[in-house]
A and B are shown apart, each in its own frame.
Chain A
C-alpha cells in the first residue's frame, strides 16, 4: 500500500474575476521511502498540491478529490486529527526558512515544543532529542547553540534547522517545497546531500517540489512533471531524462542552459504560461507545443502508459 495517494485532486481559487483553476485532476502515489520529485514552473500548481496535503490551503480555495494518507482522506479529516498527522507523520520544509521559524523563540524551545506536545516527552528528554536532530543535520557546535535565536544563524544553517524541525518527530513523509531555491549553489549542494543522507538513514519518503531539473536529477528516483495544473508526464527520473515522452518535458530539458555545453542557442519554449481562469478542456500545453495537431486543442489527453506515463495524444515516435 502506498503511503500517500492523491486521487483526482482539483483545486480552484475563488477570486474577484471568477475562478482560477490551479490543480486539475492530478493523481499520484508515494510509497514508503520513495523519493518523488514534482517539477513545474510557476503556476503549475505544484505548491498548491503540497498545501492541500498539509491542509494549509488558502481560505478562498476549493479542493475536490482525495488525498489519502494511510487510507485517511486529509481533505475531510477533522482538524484535531489532521493536526496530529501534520505534526507527527509529515514534516514540511518551506522555501524561506525564516518564515517557518518564530523569530522570538530559542531554537531549543522551537523544536522541543513539538515533541513535548505530541510524544509527551519531558523537557530534558525533549532537549536530548533536539540535540540529536541538530547533530543529525550537522549544525556545528550544536550543544552551545541550542539557546540561540533563528536570526543568529546563516541562511544555510537556518534551512538545516527547518530540516531538523521537520525530522524531529521522525515523520514518514517529508514535503520539501523548493527547499534550496533561496540558497546559494554551494549551500544548496550541502543541503541536498544532507537530505539525501537523512532519507537513506531513516527511510523517510520525500516529496520534493522544485523547478530546478538539476536538483531533481541528482536526488529523486521518480519525477512528476506538471504544467497548467495537470500532470504531463510521470516516470522514473532516469527514463524521463533519457527519453522524455512529453513535448513539454522535452522542451523543458532543452531550455535549461547546460553548463558543460554552450554550443547552440537555447531552445526556448515559445509563448506564455497558460491562462487558468477556465478549467482546461484541451491539453494546456497545446498553445505552446511545437508538435501540436488540431486534435490537441480539442481533447483532454489522459495519462497513459505503464512505467513511463504521459499525457499526450501523439505517439512518442512522432515528436520532434
Chain B
C-alpha cells in the first residue's frame, strides 16, 4: 500500500478564553477544542467527519489548514511534516490543500466579480502563468462547475446559494490542489441543490484525483460521499470505520446513539431514538476518563479514570473500554 497523502497525529487545539478571569493579568483559561485527533488518509479517498455542534470537527480541519494554530501534534502532507510557523511550509501546504466553506454566500467577497474571485488563487499559486493563461484557466474552471460565461462579471449576491457554492469550489480547485477540505459545504443548501453539489464534488474528485476531508453533521450526506468516517465527540475521535460499517454496525455507544436519532425519510420505518441523558462536559475542564462517560448509557466504573485510546485493526478503530475487553 502507498503512503498516505495526509497523515495527522495527536492533533490538539486549545483556545485561550478571557471570559471569567478574575483580573486582567490572571492567566487565560484554556478551552480544549480538539484533543488528540489522528488519522491517515490515502490519495483519492474521502474521509467524512461527523459529530454534533461543538464537537470540534470544524476546528479540526481549520487547524489542518492552518487557519487556527494547532497547539500540539503533527500534520504530514505527502510524507513531509508541516511546520505551521514557517511561511514557506504554509505556502506549500496551501498550494496542495484548499478549502470550501459552510456559508456559500459569505465565503465570497461581495465586492468582487466572480471572475476575479476565481482568478485570485492563480495570482498567488501560479505566478508562472501569463494573464491570458490565467483567464483561460478561470474560464475552464467556472465552466466545469456549470457557471455560464455570460455571468462571469456578476457579483456574488446575484447568484443563488447553490451557484455560490459552485463558485467556491471553482476558487478552491482552480490552482489544482491535491487535498480539498470541505467544512459543511452543503448544510446551508436545499435538498435538491445539495445533491447537485455533492455529485459535482464526486465528479471532480474522480477527474482530478482529489483527496477529500468532508465535515458534516448530516450522516446521510457523509455516508454518501465518504469512504471512511470519523465520529467525533468533545474534540476526540470515538470511532473510525468505513462509512457502511459505521452506519450499519456502529460500535461505539456514542455512534450508536447518534445513528439511532437520524430521521429516515420513510414513514413505514419506525425509528426509536436512543435518548442521551446527562450533561456535556465543559471543554474548559475535561473529565479525566472517557470524554463520553457523562452521557454514556453503557458506562462502567473504569470509564471515569481511563481515557480509552483509539484501538483496533486499520480502518476499524474504536475508542471504548468495552471494546477492549
Over the window 251-272 of chain A, the binary record of Cβ atoms lying under 8 Å from chain B Cβ atoms (1 yes, 0 no) is 1110111111010011111101
Docked Cα-Cα span, A310 to B217, in Å, equals 33
Q: Which residues of A contact B261 (CB under 8 A)?
A: 185-186, 188-189
Within 8 A of A (CB), among B107-137: none
Within 8 A of A (CB), among B141-163: 160-163
* A214 and B192 within 8 A (CB): no
Question: Contact check: which of A188, A262, A265 meets B223 at CB < 8 Å?
Answer: A262
Are the C-beta atoms of A251 and B192 separated by less than 8 Å? yes
The answer to whether A217 touches B267, judged by C-beta atoms less than 8 angstroms apart, is yes
Interface set, chain B 223-270, CB cutoff 8 A to A: 223-224, 243-244, 247-248, 257-270
Number of cross-chain contacts by CB at 8 Å: 127
Q: Which residues of chain A come closer than 8 Å to B163, judged between CB atoms?
A: 272
Once the chains bind, are A214 and B265 in contact (CB under 8 Å)? yes
Residues in A whose Cβ lies below 8 Å from that of B284: none
Cα–Cα distance between A169 and B52 once the two chains are bound (Å): 34
Count residues on chain B whose CB falls below 8 Å from chain A CBs: 46
Quick check: A265 and B218 within 8 Å, CB to CB?
A: no
Give A193 to B258 CA distance when docked, in angstroms.
Answer: 15
Interface pair B262/A190, CB less than 8 Å apart: no
Q: Given that A211-B190, A259-B219, A259-B223 are known contacts, is A186 also in contact with B195, CB under 8 Å in the complex?
A: no
Chain B residues within 8 Å of A, Cβ to Cβ = 52-53, 160-163, 190-196, 198-199, 202, 217-221, 223-224, 243-244, 247-248, 257-271, 273, 275-276, 280
Interface residues of chain A, those whose CB is within 8 Å of chain B, are: 41-42, 154, 184-186, 188-190, 192-193, 211-218, 237-238, 241, 251-253, 255-260, 262, 265-270, 272-273, 288
List 12 A-B residue pairs with CB atoms under 8 Å apart, sorted by A's residue number: A42-B190, A189-B260, A214-B262, A217-B264, A217-B267, A251-B192, A255-B192, A259-B264, A268-B193, A269-B195, A272-B160, A272-B162
Given contacts A211-B191, A256-B191, 18 further A-B contacts (CB under 8 A): A41-B193, A185-B219, A186-B257, A188-B263, A190-B273, A211-B190, A213-B191, A217-B265, A218-B263, A241-B268, A255-B194, A257-B223, A259-B223, A262-B243, A265-B202, A268-B193, A268-B198, A272-B163
